[in-house]
Chains A and B, each alone.
Chain A
Amino acid sequence: MRSDTRHSTPPELELVKVTKRFGSFTANEDVSFKVEPGTFHALLGENGAGKSTIVKCIMGYHAADDGDIIVAGASRDIRSPYDACKLGIGMVYQHFTVVPAMTVAENLILARPDLPLFINWKKEYSRLREFLETAPFQVPLEAQISELAAGQKQKVEILKQLYLNSQILILDEPTSVLTPQEADEVLGMMRRMVDDKKLSVLIITHKFREVTTYCDEITILRKGKLAGAGKVKDLTTSEMASMMMGEQRKGKTIQKAELKPGATVLELRDVRANRDNGIEGVCGVSLSVRAGEIVGIAGISGNGQRELVEVLDGQRPATGGEVRVAGEPFHMTRAEISKHQIYVLPEEPLRNACAPLMSVAENIALRTFDRPPLAIAGTLLSDSRVRANGRQWIERFNVKTPGPDAAIGTLSGGNVQRAVLARELGPGTAKALVAANPCFGLDFAAVDFIHSQLLAARNNGVAVLLVCEDLDELLALSDRVVVMNGGKLVYEAPVAEANIREIGERMAG
């Protein structure tokens, strides 16, 4: 590690009355807070509260209109991430900033500001290996990023900052793609580095558990303004929540109705599929989901869950086995989907379930636009009917959009997920639903909404297959939990009898 150049304790970071406007819209107003050297500082707030904007000001993406950013006692003019890097500030973004076509080693090297003109790979590799020995987790250096799962990509992002020897690390929801064990491992390791006064951390998170376990201080934003701050040990989670939301708001939680699961709807028999690189990623999965139950697939990302979901939504050809629905073979054709009413909520819905440049209404109508009642006489497309239909679901599912004609790609993540959910579950005719990480990166309100929709579907007799990397979420929702590891199912139990420690062990292998 290159720990030679900088002084040992991290510098102090202070924001004084920072204001950022975009035209007439004020994203941040008079925001002040201080990250003391060697502390773990949480930045809380709902989606749209201005957390991302404020950290982007620190990183030099945006120039603040007013106020000062003080690093190590002097006001700094940070104009680019490169300037921030020189001050020892690094950031791990919510969206990945690794280059997919490059290897892990190339990505780590690329981030170095002092990257030599000519790269001596032998030397660099030995330096990287040396660095990895001190790192909290391991990622294969030769692997190409595009072959890695989300969790592993996130690890590369964090490793990159550690490799750059950043002393103030800004993390934007870093654990949303990690298993609880991985999250604890990563945050625990950061905590130790903070305790050793090697690092200050500013973390944006939605998870109170992480705040109470790892953080020293919090700053809470609401609608771009400072809504509260304090030491974590002096505050309760409900106090934090009420500062965030403005008033005490209660999540509407639908209770799991006591149901006797019905007939088997979705059945997988020895399903096999390859990864993008041609190596088998799903190695014979057999599983059945009955009406009125949620079967949760737990597992560390990259163990074949993504490939399995892609087989079920028709994006990836199965190399073996079969999928049956209601006893009949199912080949994911549009006709069969319509006949059996099998719906999917894939991960990254904007990429996997939407046409980003088409309007919200058109996206909501993707499954039904060519059928009555949306199509005139079942053949002619009707813009007005599609729009009216869209408007209805936008309202019912509370999708925040400028209108039914706005391109769905311009919506925030939570609202894209709501629109897709409206399409898949809205009509209420679904017999089975496959959902993959449906709450990834969403705020409390959106997560609550999606959970209640999934439970409502289950209570109405839908067979739900839920793939989720957040184990707490999975255990809260599922009736039966299975663990996927190395492309195989290695554990199965009803959730009431599930042993968390055993699940963790099976996930880890």
Chain B
Amino acid sequence: MTDAESLGWWGVPIAVLGGALRGGTPFLLVSAGECLTEKSGKTNLGLEGVLLIGAMTAYAVSVNTGNPWAGLLAAGMAGMVLGFIHAVLAQQPKVNDIAAGIAMIIFGSGLAFFFGKAYIQPVAEQLPGIEFGWWSSHPAIRSALRICPLFFFGVAVVFLMQWFFESTRWGLFVRAVGDKPDAARAMGISVWGVRTCSIMAGSFLAGLAGAYLSLYYPGSWTEKISGGQGMIAVALVIFARWNPVGCLWASLLFGGAQALGPALQSVGISSYYYLFNASPYILTLLVMVLTCTNKKQLAGQPGALGASS
């Protein structure tokens, strides 16, 4: 008997809620990082590679030190190193940031697989979860409400980022650089510096997301662990209209939709299993179609995004 069955049909929304919190967290961290990067006018597709490097580094450090928090920090740092490489590459004259990003995906994943081979077998100390379901006797509710502190960290990050863009000097610099680099230069802002910092900070967050994957959920190191989440995060940012808090809702929606297929299967609906597993993608397409009209411009898109130089 599975958890969901004991609750009957109530198991489905609870599993979806759990999935939103659990599966949404890496999306949240990566899309927040990508949001910051894109606000500065550059795209970092390489976050997929950062995710893998982060997952591998976190797992390896946790295995070796026995401290998952050290692993988490190491993952963020590893992400920043990769981010720095991307920042240097993507800001060369006549280099397209999408192409540089794809190169970084290949580089990051290759590096992660190479160093990660030795860590597929050993078991690493995992990040703790906080039990918010202690009041319930239902294992399904308890498991859905077991939340990693990184989720709260991510939520704090997006609200802070919103405030950062609106009410801090560097936030205004990032937006100015992303929207009109020439204007930023005219004000003596270093476009290179602002973009490099944004890309590195964004990659730090993506590195943390990688640690979450290998040290919390699903909680092991395999080569398929990222499953394209770094790429999906890029779409989520567009979906969220470059608004950090929007990234939170988009990530939760995506995480929840991901849990729909398994949840329905557990209450006995196993036909169309793969179709339900595709629901996040279908949902994204639907919301995109419904929210885009040709009459409104794509509000929030940084003006310099996709422009060369």
A residues adjacent to B (C-beta < 8 A): 80-82, 85, 93, 95-102, 106, 109-111, 113, 115-121, 274, 276, 278, 317
Interchain CB contact (< 8 A) of B180 among A85, A100, A111, A278: A100
Q: Which residue of A lies closest to B302 (CB)?
A: A101
Q: Are A81 and B187 in contact (CB under 8 A)?
A: yes
Would you call B179 and A102 a contact (CB within 8 A)? yes
| Complex Cα–Cα for A312 and B175 (A) | 34
Q: What secondary structure prevails in chain A residues at the interface with B?
A: loop
Contact in complex: B167, A119 (CB < 8 Å) = yes
Chain B residue at minimal CB-CB distance from A116? B169
How would residues 176 to 189 of chain B score, 1 for a CB under 8 Å from any chain A CB and 0 otherwise? 10111011101110
A110 to B187, CA, bound (A): 8
B303, CB-defined interface residue at 8 Å: yes
A115:B180 contact, CB within 8 angstroms: no
- Contact present for A100 and B295 (CB under 8 Å): no
Q: Which residue of B lies closest to A86 (CB)?
A: B188
Whether A93 contacts B186 in the complex (CB less than 8 A), given A99-B175, A101-B302, A116-B169, comes out as: yes
Segment 173-228 of B: residues with Cβ below 8 Å from A: 173, 175-176, 178-180, 182-184, 186-188
Q: Which residues of B contact A276 (CB under 8 A)?
A: 297
B2 at the interface (CB under 8 A from A): no
Task: Please tell me if B296 contacts chain A, counting CB pairs below 8 Å.
Answer: yes
Partner of A278, one of B166, B169, B186, B296: B296
**B85: chain A residues within 8 A (beta carbon):** none
B70 at the interface (CB under 8 A from A): no
From residue A317, how far is it (CB to closest CB) to chain B in Å?
8
Q: Is B179 a contact of A101 with CB atoms below 8 Å?
A: yes
Q: Is B95 an interface residue (CB 8 A)?
A: no
**A102 adjacent to B176 (CB under 8 Å):** yes
B39's nearest neighbour on chain A, judged by CB, is A101
Beyond A101-B179, A120-B167, list 9 extra A-B contacts (CB 8 Å). A81-B187, A99-B183, A99-B184, A106-B172, A106-B175, A109-B172, A119-B167, A121-B166, A278-B296
The residue that A101 contacts in the complex, of B167, B188, B303, with Cβ under 8 A, is B303
- Asked whether any CB of chain A lies closer than 8 Å to the CB of B136, the reply is no
**6 closest A-B pairs by CB:** A82-B188, A101-B179, A97-B183, A97-B186, A119-B167, A99-B176
Instruction: Say yes or no: A115-B169 contact (C-beta < 8 A), given A99-B176, A110-B176, A278-B295.
Output: yes
Residues of B in contact with A (beta carbons under 8 Å apart): 166-170, 172-173, 175-176, 178-180, 182-184, 186-188, 295-297, 300, 302-303
Q: Are A119 and B168 in contact (CB under 8 A)?
A: yes
Question: Does the CB pair A102–B175 fall under 8 Å?
Answer: yes
> Chain A's nearest CB lies how many Å from the CB of B135?
40
17 A-B contacts (beta carbon < 8 Å):
A85-B188, A99-B176, A99-B180, A99-B183, A99-B184, A101-B300, A101-B302, A101-B303, A102-B172, A115-B169, A115-B172, A116-B169, A117-B168, A118-B167, A118-B168, A119-B167, A278-B295
Report B197 CB to chain A, min CB distance, Å.
15
Cα-based distance from A109 to B173 in the complex (angstroms): 11
Most B Cβ at <10 Å: residue of A100, A101, A102 = A101
Shortest distance from the beta carbon of B61 to any chain A beta carbon, whole Å? 33
Distance A199 CA – B172 CA, assembled complex (angstroms): 29
Distance in angstroms from A200 CB to nearest chain B CB is 21
- Across the interface, do B188 and A80 meet the contact criterion of CB distance under 8 Å? yes
**How distant is A144 from chain B, measured CB to nearest CB, in Å?**
9
A121 to chain B, nearest CB (A): 6
Query: With A and B bound together, what is the CA distance between A121 and B303 in angstroms?
Result: 24
- Cβ–Cβ contact A100 & B303, under 8 A: yes
How far, in angstroms, from A216 to B296 measured CA to CA in the complex? 48
Complex Cα spacing A23 to B244, Å: 46
The one of A111, A116, A117, A119 in contact with B187, judged by C-beta atoms closer than 8 angstroms, is A111
CA–CA, A347 and B303, complex, Å: 20
| The residue from A96, A110, A121 contacting B167, defined by CB atoms under 8 A apart | A121
Instruction: List the B side residues contacting A80 at CB < 8 Å.
Output: 188
User: B186 contacts A81, CB within 8 Å?
Assistant: yes
Contacts of A120 on B, CB cut-off 8 Å?
Answer: 167
Determine which residue in A99, A111, A119 has the highest number of CB atoms from chain B within 10 A of its CB, and name it. Answer: A99
Closest to B177 in A: A99
Task: For residue A77, give the distance in angstroms from its CB to the closest CB of chain B.
Answer: 15
User: Hey, which chain A residues are within 8 Å of B168, CB to CB?
Assistant: 117-119
* Least distance between B75 CB and chain A CB atoms (Å): 29
Q: Which residues does chain B contribute within 8 Å of A115, judged by CB atoms?
A: 169, 172
Interchain CA distance A115-B168 in the complex, whole Å: 9
Q: Nearest CB to that of A317 among chain B residues?
A: B295
Distance in angstroms between the alpha carbons of A86 and B178 in the assembled complex:
25
Which residues of B are found within 8 Å of A121, using beta-carbon distances?
166-167
B301 to A, closest residue via Cβ: A101
B178's nearest neighbour on chain A, judged by CB, is A101
Note all chain B residues with C-beta closer than 8 A to A119: 166-169, 172
Inter-chain contacts of A109 with B (CB < 8 A): 172
**CB of B110, distance to nearest CB on chain A (Å):** 35
Residues of B within 8 Å of A117, CB to CB, are: 168-170
The answer to whether B179 touches A81 (Cβ under 8 A) is no
Q: How far is the CA of A98 from the CA of B187 in the complex (A)?
A: 10
By the criterion CB–CB under 8 Å, are B186 and A100 in contact?
no
**Measured between alpha carbons, how far is A121 from B188 in the docked complex, in Å?**
23
Report B-chain residues with C-beta under 8 Å of the C-beta of A106. Answer: 172, 175
CA distance A241 to B115 in the complex (A): 74
Judging by beta carbons under 8 Å apart, are B188 and A81 in contact? yes
> A85 contacts which chain B residues (CB < 8 A)?
188
* A97-B182 in contact (CB<8A): yes
> Closest B-chain residue to A115, C-beta based?
B169
Q: How many angstroms from the CA of A109 to the CA of B170 in the assembled complex?
A: 12
Among residues of A, the one whose C-beta sits closest to the C-beta of B180 is A99
Least CB distance, A430 to chain B, in whole angstroms: 30
Bound complex: CA A317 to CA B295 (Å): 9
Tell me which residues across on chain A come within 8 A of B173, comparing CB atoms: 110
- Write out the residue numbers on chain B whose beta carbons fall within 8 Å of the beta carbon of A102: 172, 175-176, 179
Residue of B nearest to A117 (CB): B169
> Judging by beta carbons under 8 Å apart, are B169 and A101 in contact?
no
Compute how far the CA of A99 lies from the CA of B186 in the bound complex, rounded to whole angstroms. 11
Which residues of A are found within 8 Å of B300, using beta-carbon distances? 101
Of the candidates B167, B169, B186, B295, the one whose C-beta lies within 8 Å of that of A274 is B295
Q: Say how far B24's CB is from chain A's closest CB, in angstroms.
A: 28
Q: Which residues of B contact A97 (CB under 8 A)?
A: 180, 182-183, 186-187
Question: Once the chains are docked, how many angstroms separate the CA of A81 from the CA of B189?
Answer: 10
Complex-state Cα separation, A114 to B170, whole angstroms? 12
Contacts of A113 in B (CB 8 A): 188
Min distance, Cβ B91 to any Cβ of chain A, angstroms = 19
**Bound CA–CA A120/B168 (angstroms):** 9
Are A110 and B295 in contact, with the CB atoms below 8 A?
A: no
Instruction: For B297, list chain A residues within 8 Å (CB).
Output: 276
Is A98 a contact of B167 with CB atoms below 8 Å? no
A278 to B167, CA, bound (A): 27
Q: How far is the CB of A425 from chain B (nearest CB, A)?
A: 31
Chain A contacts for B169, CB-based, 8 A? 115-119
